[in-house]
Amino acid sequence: ASSASKSSYYSHIGAVATTSVGSVRAFGVANATTIEASPASKSSYYSHIGAVATTSVGSVSVFGVASATTIEASTATKPSYYSHIGAVAATSVGSVRAFGVANATNIEASPASESSDYYPIVAVAATSVG
């Protein structure tokens, strides 16, 4: 939880993407980040998001990293905050390609009485073989 002065905000991000094509399964998890407030002016907020998705199927290894986003305040009254999260993880091993995309979320400030906010992020993954 952030302090009463709301100097920082925390978000718990849990995203899971799985898919299966034939005997090939790709599994990815993106989890956890911290959002810290900018200086006292509070005109914007920044979050560093580091997500790692790895899996191994036989001799096929899939590794993806999703990183970075910026959260800017919506208006001077600060009723809500928005973040655009675009993460792409792709790799190719032989004829097997795994492709995953995690995209877009809306962050809204909690009421003044609340000390922390939580945000859900949805991740989508697709896999093709051939």
Name residues whose C-beta falls within 8 Å of residue 104's C-beta, 6 or more positions apart in sequence.
84, 85, 86
Looking at residue 62, its pLDDT comes to 37
Tokens at residue 62, please? 């899939």
The one-digit pLDDT tens for each residue of the chain (130 residues) are 333 333 233 332 233 333 333 333 333 333 333 333 333 333 333 332 323 233 333 333 333 333 333 333 333 333 333 332 333 333 333 333 333 333 333 333 333 333 333 332 223 233 333 3
Alpha-carbon radius of gyration of the chain = 18
Name residues whose C-beta falls within 8 Å of residue 39's C-beta, 6 or more positions apart in sequence.
none
pLDDT in tens, 29-54: 333 333 333 333 333 333 323 232 33
The H-or-E segment that residue 46 falls in is strand 44-57
Integer Cα distance of 80 and 11 in angstroms: 14
- pTM metric for this prediction: 0.16
